[in-house]
């Protein structure tokens, strides 16, 4: 699950752990708070007399799943097909293909995070980046620190009721006060209201998006099924024999 987080030379395992996600305004398909939604600060989005409810459990990517959708790079006006699949704890994202302006794959495979970008506007280098010691458990541990934004409705066909979460890595995290800070990786994750393991939309932003001038990219899922998918390590990423 996301992972342009290792692009270029891969910033760090901590950066990868949040799958490279992001803070930004709006969504490509639109989202709106639902009546009675309570923010983490206690303000009700609509229906100000509604009783606050405790936040739901944070997102958790399952071991087995498969889904299809689109990858959106808004400032480049590029939208390409996208697949996201998991099998026995390994997982793979693939955006675009040889006939599209962008084409990359990100994998968690045998406790290693891989990123291989085949095509991108202006890109002339195509190494396979590796971050060893990273797996599904590390990813989900990163999600445990996500901040609940609220209950929302994604305006699409069909409409989807989701829980909106925010994940991020900012340095320095402490101390508080007037210190310059850099958002290494920030993200917004939208999971199904009834199943935190069903991911419908992710916005990722940060240095892991260096190939994009505005540093942000979207994945939007049309389908997400809880059955094993297919995960294939590209030959270019295989260790030398």
Side-chain-side CA neighbours of residue 158 (13 Å): 5
In a domain? residue 87: yes
Mean pLDDT score, 27-37: 52
Residue 157 lies in a domain: yes
Q: Record the tokens describing residue 27, joined without a space.
A: 């969504």
Query: 95 lies in a domain?
Result: yes
d(CA 25, CA 73): 14
**CA-CA distance, 126 to 78, in Å (whole number)?**
20
Q: Which residue segment(s) compose the domain that 56 sits in?
A: 3-236
Determine, yes or no, domain membership for 241.
no
pLDDT in tens, 201-228: 998 765 566 665 556 789 999 999 999 9
Confirm whether 227 is domain-assigned.
yes
Query: Does any domain span residue 100?
Result: yes
Q: Is residue 112 part of a domain?
A: yes
The confidence band for 42, taking pLDDT boundaries of 50, 70 and 90, is very low
Query: Distance (Å, rounded) from C-alpha 19 to C-alpha 195?
Result: 20
Closest CA to 211 of 143, 127, 99: 127
Instruction: Look at the chain and report how many structural domains it folds into.
Output: 1
Q: Is 126 among the domain residues?
A: yes
Peptide bond into 172 cis (omega under 30): yes
127-166: per-residue pLDDT in tens? Answer: 999 999 999 999 999 899 899 999 999 998 899 999 999 9
CATH code at position 152: 2.50.20
Cβ neighbour number for residue 119 with a 10 Å cutoff: 17
């Amino acid at each position: 699950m996301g992972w342009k987080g290792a692009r270029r030379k891969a910033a760090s395992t901590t950066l990868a752990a949040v799958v490279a996600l992001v803070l930004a305004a709006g969504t490509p398909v639109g989202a709106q708070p639902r009546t009675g939604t309570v923010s983490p600060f206690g303000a009700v989005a609509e229906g100000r007399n509604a009783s606050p409810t405790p936040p739901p459990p944070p997102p958790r990517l399952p071991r087995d799943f498969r889904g299809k959708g689109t990858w959106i790079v808004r400032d480049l006006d590029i939208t390409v097909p996208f697949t996201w699949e998991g099998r026995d704890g390994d997982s793979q994202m693939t955006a675009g293909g040889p006939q599209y302006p962008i084409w990359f794959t990100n994998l968690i495979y045998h406790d290693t995070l891989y990123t291989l970008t085949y095509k991108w506007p202006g890109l002339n280098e195509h190494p396979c980046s590796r971050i060893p010691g990273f797996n599904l458990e590390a990813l989900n541990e990163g999600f445990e620190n996500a901040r609940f934004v609220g209950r929302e409705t994604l305006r699409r066909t069909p409409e989807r009721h989701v829980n909106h979460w925010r994940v991020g890595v900012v340095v320095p995290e402490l101390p508080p006060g007037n210190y310059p800070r850099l958002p290494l990786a920030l993200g917004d994750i939208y999971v199904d209201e009834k199943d935190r393991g069903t991911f419908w939309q992710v916005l990722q932003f940060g240095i892991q998006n260096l190939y994009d001038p505005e540093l942000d990219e979207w994945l939007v899922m049309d389908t997400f099924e809880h059955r094993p998918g297919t995960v294939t390590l590209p030959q270019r990423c295989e260790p030398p024999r």
